[in-house]
Structure 1
Amino acid sequence: MTSLVLPTNADIEAAARVLAPVAVRTRLVTSPALDALTGARVFLKPEVLQRTGSFKFRGAFNKLSSIPEAARKAGVVAFSSGNHAQGVAAAAQILNMPAAIVMPSDAPVSKIERTKSYGAEVVPYDRDKEDRDAIARDLASKRGATVVPPYDDLWVIAGQGTVGREIAEDFASLGIVPDMVSAPASGGGLMAGIALATKAKFPNAGLMTVEPYGFDDHARSFSAGERQPHRAIGRTICDALMASIPGEITFAVNEKNGVKGVTATDDEVAKAVAFAFRELKLVVEPGGAVALAALLAGHIDARGKTIAIVLSGGNVDADLYARLIQ
């Protein structure tokens, strides 16, 4: 069996240098109302304000920047329900590379249209009957293009890790030691990067992934000590968080760093989206609000603690958003 090559904090430092000219440096924000509700000192990382509306731009740009000049003309191929799609499309536009994105035909219309707006080609597929990975790799093979995975890739994880690097820097500048950092999880790339960067500065900080109820592959895997698929049937309003099993690299990093996992129901997520609208004045998509939902619902033991919550994305269709904030 081939041993996995895992990313390191040095890779995240390198990614930070690559991203500095193009990515938004999202600062931690606080809410007295949130602190009062939870009995915690809560700091929010608003990646909804990032380019393309989610943290995914970071990993996509870092990955595309690693592609040798000679291979860039053939372009890239990615597969995504929306946020990674937009991140890759925007990064490709900046670097003047062709991009094709394999997207589920039932992805939010806003995510499909915004992906196209960056100049990318969208290739639709049926997520219940077709294999997006196979479609993407076949397309890349025919075009000689580079596949850009959504999470299980060293360059992608390092780019996402700059989220954790900035969180750690902000806490250090405030002279605060966090008790925990929590973030949404689908394939686990965001938390893997956050884990590496957080532990480098705050080795005793706890780390918590949050997933939609039923789509609990990370929680199951952490409990079992090995990768386990979730057993959900159907859908969740958290369309960005429906990966069936943690990535090999992401799980290895997360398990090594003692990450734990909890879930939040769609109803709890809807309340968190509405809370972010009312109290924070931030537009957060369901998948981006799941860690906030777990905090508000009491699934994260935060009372008396200092905790960072990542709001990972804000790309949500207007009609769904209107229903959620009622």
Structure 2
Amino acid sequence: MSYTGGGRAMSATRQPGAEGVRAAAHSIAAILPPTPLLPVEIGGTACWAKAESLQPIGAFKIRGGWWRLSNLTDEEKARGVVAVSSGNHAQGVAWAARRLAIAAAIVMPRDAPKVKLEATKALGAELVLYERPGEDRDEVAAREVEQRGAVLVHAFGDPWVIEGQGSAGIEIAEQLGRQPSRILACCGGGGLAAGLALACPESAVHVVEPEGWDMVGRALAAGEIVRVGEDPPATICDALRPDATKPINLDVLRGRAEPGVTVTDAEVRAAQRFAFSKLHLVLEPGGAAALAAALAGKVPVDKDTVIMLTGGNTDAGDFAAMLDSE
């Protein structure tokens, strides 16, 4: 398969598309095995769970990181990349950068889980830490890009990243032998949800976000970008806390995604415990949000429903404490 959409810096004219998603899936299949599609029973109904937590970096973000960096020109690769992430996109970009011999600097919150900070550094990336709350991460990233002359690799508002994440939908359809009836996606900025919408046009896509951080769900309802308030509630889902989605994500999801769904910390913890006991998987809070929505009955499931288990990068102590808190 050949695809000529990449290889240039992101511009306002470049939009993600189904062709790019298929090309990304082909590229990723050449370097990574598909993640398992596991049978799971919820409320007496059999459905499926896509275990992206079993990726080499422990999260689906490896897909978008690989597709974005592999589409850089040689000149762009020589300049290096800057990414912004609380940890999973950081590792996806760092993993791809190491494989492609590209210098990577990752802007990360100082309060990101220690396991994510250490894993990103271990992959060879340079960490640029900022205070959360207190500093604007996009401003920090813009400064680093200007100082380094690097290419910004946005966590969700980038067409190649969206296409890369959508490759999971291509795998799902191949594993099921058909497109799923619905897909439940843990949602931060909407990169995964947008990619899945492109990959599986016949499937209903449900975005699941933490309470108080449903920036994608609110944007879909309002028809425009909505920013988080000045005093947002605390959430254990550190991976699902962007201040707002981006126009590129909203453009893809508008008219395609179902109304947004939110989950509480208690529901997320219950989903983590369920995944551990029933699927023998370790999920981080953000990676369990979609499962939480299904278990709480907030989204109906059927035999062709797929629930995205998006990440498993959690500190051992926090996970053990969560299991003991039941």
Letter in 2 for 1:189: G
Root mean square deviation, CA, Å: 1.6
Q: Deviations over 1:263-298 (max 9, x none)?
A: 110000001001111111001110000000010011
Q: Deviations over 1:77-118 (max 9, x none)?
A: 111100000111111000011111110000000000000000
Q: Deviations over 1:157-192 (max 9, x none)?
A: 0100101111122222xxx55321111000000000
CA distance in 2, matches of 1:4, 1:44: 35
How many pairs does the alignment contain? Answer: 313
The alpha carbon displacement at 1:68 in A equals: 0.7
Alpha carbons 2:204, 2:256 under 8 Å: kept: no
In the other structure, the counterpart of 1:301 is 300
Alpha carbons 1:6, 1:253 under 8 Å: kept: no
Letter in 2 for 1:21: A
The alpha carbon displacement at 1:227 in A equals: 2.1
In the other structure, the counterpart of 2:213 is 215
Q: After TM superposition, list the pairs within 5 Å mapping 1:65-104 onto structure 2.
A: 65-104=70-109
Q: Deviations over 1:96-143 (max 9, x none)?
A: 111111100000000000000001110110121111111112112111
The alpha carbon displacement at 1:229 in A equals: 2.4
In the other structure, the counterpart of 1:196 is 198
Alpha carbons 1:24, 1:49 under 8 Å: kept: no
Alpha carbons 1:23, 1:58 under 8 Å: kept: no
Aligned partner (choices 4, 17, 36) of residue 8 of structure 1:
17
CA distance in 2, matches of 1:183, 1:112: 24
The alpha carbon displacement at 1:3 in A equals: 6.9
CA distance in 2, matches of 1:213, 1:114: 28
In the other structure, the counterpart of 1:272 is 271
The alpha carbon displacement at 1:306 in A equals: 2.9
Alpha carbons 1:239, 1:287 under 8 Å: kept: yes
Alpha carbons 1:271, 1:324 under 8 Å: kept: no
Q: After TM superposition, list the pairs within 5 Å mapping 1:165-176 onto structure 2.
A: 165-172=170-177
Q: Deviations over 1:26-65 (max 9, x none)?
A: 131113xxx2x42333100000011211000110111111
CA distance in 1, matches of 2:311, 2:33: 13
The alpha carbon displacement at 1:225 in A equals: 2.2
CA distance in 2, matches of 1:286, 1:5: 33
Q: After TM superposition, list the pairs within 5 Å mapping 1:1-326 onto structure 2.
A: 5-31=14-40, 35=41, 37-172=42-177, 178-199=180-201, 203=202, 205-231=203-229, 233-302=232-301, 304=302, 306-326=304-324
Letter in 2 for 1:27: P
The alpha carbon displacement at 1:4 in A equals: 5.8
Distance 1:130 1:255, change over 3 A: same
CA distance in 2, matches of 1:209, 1:4: 26
Letter in 1 for 2:56: R
The runs of 5 or more residues in structure 2 that have no matched partner are 1-10
Q: SS state of the match for residue 245, structure 1? A: coil
The 10-residue stretch of structure 1 (3-12 or 71-80) with the greater mean CA deviation from structure 2: 3-12
Letter in 2 for 1:198: C
TM-score scaled to structure 1, two decimals?
0.92
Q: SS state of the match for residue 218, structure 2? A: helix
Distance 1:315 1:225, change over 3 A: same
Q: SS state of the match for residue 129, structure 1? A: coil
CA distance in 2, matches of 1:42, 1:323: 29
Alpha carbons 1:40, 1:307 under 8 Å: kept: no
CA distance in 2, matches of 1:164, 1:297: 24
The alpha carbon displacement at 1:145 in A equals: 1.0
Q: SS state of the match for residue 39, structure 2? A: coil
Alpha carbons 2:207, 2:257 under 8 Å: kept: no
CA distance in 1, matches of 2:84, 2:280: 31
Q: SS state of the match for residue 41, structure 1? A: strand
CA distance in 1, matches of 2:297, 2:156: 28
TM-score scaled to structure 2, two decimals?
0.92
Q: Deviations over 1:184-228 (max 9, x none)?
A: 0000000000011111xxx2x211010011111122122222222
Q: SS state of the match for residue 44, structure 1? A: strand
